[in-house]
Structure 1
């Protein structure tokens, strides 16, 4: 479906054009004399697929304001892309999928004159390239589906319709009843990964093909409609995680990395309806959301903080500046093409099964008592729940129902907290190792929850890999976890006055100690946390010009740990620890409430 561009979109489109143009000198500065594009701060996994994404960004710039210099840079990046595609010993197959996909996308984004010239130069190599990558995950299937269409749209070779059907079926099979797409699926196994970032990325990859292919032969339309159905169901799920500050709630693998920004902007540009509905406004907010993370050199923070790139705060090992900046900007280039063409996701009757009118999984609990305007969405299949206190999401948070395969966050973990639409000095969660849960989780981890030590000295945290019981309340969720060591009932409540974490923990065997840990954001590269102990107990916090009180009346002590962690995407963090009880005998119950409240002094 296409519609004329609106005034609000036109202003955003103009800013997007300018932003992409401003990145051309960055690409030029990164390019070595022999045409490589290494990461400025790393040697391992350094260049990877960055040249192909650079080509996509440069092609988008050429289509709106071409210059000989930009056109030459585009040629250099495509030449490097083709070189890397030919290095089957040195470049792994999944990396080559990215190179091929985005190299072809660059040709489709380029103006006709550049496209013809570049196809004449690189077309034979691209047409002869054989993809030897197994379907290693869902986003791989989406990349392969799109690049098969790209080769046909460019006239490089005929489309393999059996491959198109197989790739889309692979994605559809990974899409849960709720609409969520689990990325951690390959051709032989399905793991309980459930990364929200890659749910959005898979939707983006399907959207990207629809954005850049202008002529769809009749025989391609069945595949397009199937892709639109997957996107529509996936966006039904994702809307529960989107907040008005231009972001969406994420946890698990690759949360809040730069590429998720570009993916969201494109998805929202594609999902806005005939009259520029809330998705249209959300697309403008999403585009602006990452602009504050610009560095003086023209690059953007790979994670939403402004700490130096070389510190890698919140990075995962495969997150490099060149790759993720350029992948994020490719999302902006796709959004540009969607807005320019007026391409929008058509309405359909195949929405995801998201329960009743509140979007609540019918198995999750009774809606009675939910206040007017509040929305609770519980998806036991993906293991996530979202609370929105009122229309517009002024008070909001997400929550994990279980610990997923890679164990990046505990069960019952709140994330993406918003009070009156404002962020708080709470660090987004991240555990240090997904292979095991150990004492490092308490020392280095960034998370909120109980930490108890049994008589043998073993640490126990909320590490359940099955869903906890959950029921919604007027202002959040109440969850129950039962193990052989303890039973814990936890309530997370969010209101205009602050956040409360309330616990009732019953020991099922003797315990030496019980603590409550809360992750505080110490520094995001721009703002530092100032903290002081109050005479009556509790901590006074000052961050980014706002004041807060962190209190736990039942605690024996409440202090901030001296250790600092670089794991969280929010920035440098530290744990506030409330010692609430110990020792406990089997059958003993301890109750406490920890609150974080904005205050005025």
Structure 2
């Protein structure tokens, strides 16, 4: 298929998805023009009206009005009301409201934009941002909205502010290209959320999508932002699995808004047919999570919205559905305008930045961000090298397993968070790793805050971590349809028991897990019309716990506990291998 035809097909599909959402937005709007979440009361409306405006403006632009023009007017009216309500709407929320309302105007067709500017232009021009730079995505929002106001003729961009915001983001970008979101004006913390790395890049890219004429005085800012995005996207591509899905842990991992962000970034950096295919697969990856009422799951499962499976505290249906779809609106505009980041830098004589296509190497290790990724053909997984400061995921933790192109019935990891005790992390958390019980009854699991040593292994990665209680060598491999975990533990202190814990998805809202203990060391499993064997010949027993967790974005999950050993003295060495095979 020719490139232009492939782009056209995906663009048309994106426009149809956005058009199909107009009745959903209409169903949410109250008589007084508010847009509350249908399932929540706390933090309910937030910045949803401005996101809705961006989606509706894109629909108007593509010619599929369906009442979108009238709704767009109502959403901008509500957005202006919220911007003026500084007593009840916090400054960071107003940053989103202002950014996305301006973005909506730039996405709208010219005649509609002129009409709306006549009505709301004065209020938007007079608005003064009073939000400090609370994190890196905040800086990206503020950089873009300054440019949007200039492009709409509301006021001239503050070049000093633009420089400050980009410098802020540059300082948060590691040598590898990863952008740490957990940075403010006073400090930088070891948060490293992968989702917000992608979102920050997306916010910068949105400006390239909708601003058609850049004043000469702003072209240096544009070029530097483009370099930041290209470096960051090169990192991001290491985290994209062969099926177009995106591997994430930490804050907001696997929330719907990242789907739109990553699809847009892939659309902006297409270089060949493989890139076109990856972008198309990324776009289509979330469409299966559409509910009968037209909404989408906020996290990657088919469970009801009201169960909030895998949600952050601030995740709501209206906000994250509309935020994700506004990302698709930007992707559509990038495809329509055939924008390819990096081309302008080449024309300016700059050195072309390394592309790092997905699949370029088997192992990618980044000690700065604390992540590693393995890819070989259709086999893929990510891994944490350390526990980050919010403590959402243990150290040396595999995630996003794709074996022979298949999504495994292993739940994406998630711990209760930094304020939870070790006992609660073990009991309520969703994670894979060793679990030790000491003679005082205390539990120990891989919670090192410093990086493990990561070494590429044949068909996988070896991770070596040392803590107060144990030295661990863990190898994760994939080969011929078999996922293997191999452990060697050297005890530094006596322990009373050692178990290997693995989280299984027992229900994703559509597919139940059927499991049967065939032998003491073997579980037979069926999930989504596929069969698996979970085996550990070095264990004395394998059992699946009765407790269920909704912490993981994968759905409802349960821990499998594999009993390895009891009563080990200091300096004891214990080894075992657990495998999960497609049968």
Using the TM superposition, give the Cα deviation of residue 497 of structure 1 relative to its aligned residue in structure 2, in angstroms. Answer: 2.8
Identify the residue that residue 366 of structure 1 maps to in structure 2: none
SS at match of 1:504: strand
* Structure 1 contact 179–353 (Cα < 8 Å) conserved: no
Note the alpha carbon deviations across 1:150-208, whole angstroms, 9 max, x for none: 00000001110000000001001110000000000001100001011011000000000
Using the TM superposition, give the Cα deviation of residue 389 of structure 1 relative to its aligned residue in structure 2, in angstroms. Answer: 1.4
Q: Does 1:346 align with 2:330?
A: no
What is the alpha-carbon distance in structure 2 between the residues aligned to residue 205 and residue 12 of structure 1?
22
Identify the residue that residue 62 of structure 2 maps to in structure 1: 64
What is the alpha-carbon distance in structure 2 between the residues aligned to residue 477 and residue 112 of structure 1?
53
Identify the residue that residue 398 of structure 1 maps to in structure 2: 382
Identify the residue that residue 407 of structure 1 maps to in structure 2: 391
Identify the residue that residue 555 of structure 2 maps to in structure 1: 571
* Structure 1 contact 36–80 (Cα < 8 Å) conserved: yes
Q: Specify which of 117, 120, 123 is matched with residue 122 of structure 1.
A: 120
What is the alpha-carbon distance in structure 1 between the residues aligned to residue 319 and residue 520 of structure 2?
50
What is the alpha-carbon distance in structure 2 between the residues aligned to residue 140 and residue 114 of structure 1?
28
SS at match of 1:173: helix
Identify the residue that residue 364 of structure 1 maps to in structure 2: none
Identify the residue that residue 371 of structure 2 maps to in structure 1: 384
Identify the residue that residue 319 of structure 2 maps to in structure 1: 323
* Structure 2 contact 234–354 (Cα < 8 Å) conserved: no
Q: Does 1:517 align with 2:515?
A: no
* Structure 1 contact 303–569 (Cα < 8 Å) conserved: yes
* Structure 1 contact 233–351 (Cα < 8 Å) conserved: no
Identify the residue that residue 368 of structure 1 maps to in structure 2: none
Using the TM superposition, give the Cα deviation of residue 98 of structure 1 relative to its aligned residue in structure 2, in angstroms. Answer: 0.3
54 and 340 in structure 1: CA distance in 2 versus 1, 3 angstrom threshold: same
* Structure 2 contact 295–321 (Cα < 8 Å) conserved: yes
Using the TM superposition, give the Cα deviation of residue 358 of structure 1 relative to its aligned residue in structure 2, in angstroms. Answer: 11
Identify the residue that residue 85 of structure 1 maps to in structure 2: 83
Q: For 1:81-480, what aligned pairs fall within 5 Å after superposition?
A: 81-273=79-271, 276-347=272-343, 375-390=362-377, 394-480=378-464
Identify the residue that residue 559 of structure 1 maps to in structure 2: 543
What is the alpha-carbon distance in structure 2 between the residues aligned to residue 488 and residue 553 of structure 1?
20
Identify the residue that residue 369 of structure 1 maps to in structure 2: none
SS at match of 1:325: helix
What is the alpha-carbon distance in structure 1 between the residues aligned to residue 179 and residue 66 of structure 2?
42
Using the TM superposition, give the Cα deviation of residue 43 of structure 1 relative to its aligned residue in structure 2, in angstroms. Answer: 0.1
What is the alpha-carbon distance in structure 2 between the residues aligned to residue 535 and residue 404 of structure 1?
38
SS at match of 2:567: coil
What is the alpha-carbon distance in structure 2 between the residues aligned to residue 387 and residue 577 of structure 1?
26
RMSD of equivalent CA atoms: 1.7
Could you tell me which runs of 5 or more consecutive residues in structure 2 were left unpaired when the two chains were aligned.
Answer: none
What is the alpha-carbon distance in structure 2 between the residues aligned to residue 520 and residue 352 of structure 1?
40
Instruction: Give the TM-score normalised by structure 2.
Output: 0.97
* Structure 1 contact 178–353 (Cα < 8 Å) conserved: no
* Structure 1 contact 517–578 (Cα < 8 Å) conserved: yes
SS at match of 1:559: strand
Q: Specify which of 538, 543, 547 is matched with residue 527 of structure 2.
A: 543
What is the alpha-carbon distance in structure 1 between the residues aligned to residue 365 and residue 417 of structure 2?
27
What is the alpha-carbon distance in structure 2 between the residues aligned to residue 16 and residue 5 of structure 1?
17
SS at match of 2:568: coil
* Structure 2 contact 523–535 (Cα < 8 Å) conserved: yes
Q: Specify which of 15, 23, 26 is matched with residue 25 of structure 1.
A: 23
Identify the residue that residue 569 of structure 2 maps to in structure 1: 585
How many pairs were matched up? 577
Note the alpha carbon deviations across 1:481-511, whole angstroms, 9 max, x for none: 1112111111111112311111111111111
What is the alpha-carbon distance in structure 1 between the residues aligned to residue 354 and residue 432 of structure 2?
31
Q: Does 1:48 align with 2:35?
A: no
What is the alpha-carbon distance in structure 2 between the residues aligned to residue 155 and residue 431 of structure 1?
47
SS at match of 1:45: coil
Using the TM superposition, give the Cα deviation of residue 437 of structure 1 relative to its aligned residue in structure 2, in angstroms. Answer: 4.1
Instruction: Give the TM-score normalised by structure 1.
Output: 0.94
Could you tell me which runs of 5 or more consecutive residues in structure 1 were left unpaired when the two chains were aligned.
Answer: 360-371
Identify the residue that residue 481 of structure 1 maps to in structure 2: 465
SS at match of 1:239: helix
What is the alpha-carbon distance in structure 2 between the residues aligned to residue 14 and residue 47 of structure 1?
30
Using the TM superposition, give the Cα deviation of residue 350 of structure 1 relative to its aligned residue in structure 2, in angstroms. Answer: 6.0
* Structure 1 contact 358–376 (Cα < 8 Å) conserved: no
SS at match of 1:143: helix
Bigger mean CA offset, 237-246 vs 574-583: 237-246
What is the alpha-carbon distance in structure 1 between the residues aligned to residue 357 and residue 330 of structure 2?
32
What is the alpha-carbon distance in structure 2 between the residues aligned to residue 262 and residue 496 of structure 1?
33
Using the TM superposition, give the Cα deviation of residue 278 of structure 1 relative to its aligned residue in structure 2, in angstroms. Answer: 2.3
What is the alpha-carbon distance in structure 1 between the residues aligned to residue 536 and residue 293 of structure 2?
44
What is the alpha-carbon distance in structure 2 between the residues aligned to residue 52 and residue 222 of structure 1?
29
Using the TM superposition, give the Cα deviation of residue 462 of structure 1 relative to its aligned residue in structure 2, in angstroms. Answer: 0.3
What is the alpha-carbon distance in structure 1 between the residues aligned to residue 95 and residue 538 of structure 2?
55
* Structure 1 contact 358–375 (Cα < 8 Å) conserved: no
* Structure 1 contact 555–581 (Cα < 8 Å) conserved: yes
* Structure 1 contact 403–410 (Cα < 8 Å) conserved: yes
What is the alpha-carbon distance in structure 2 between the residues aligned to residue 34 and residue 536 of structure 1?
63
248 and 350 in structure 1: CA distance in 2 versus 1, 3 angstrom threshold: farther
SS at match of 1:527: coil
What is the alpha-carbon distance in structure 1 between the residues aligned to residue 278 and residue 190 of structure 2?
30
SS at match of 1:378: strand
Q: Does 1:34 align with 2:32?
A: yes
* Structure 1 contact 261–286 (Cα < 8 Å) conserved: yes
Identify the residue that residue 507 of structure 1 maps to in structure 2: 491
* Structure 1 contact 136–185 (Cα < 8 Å) conserved: yes
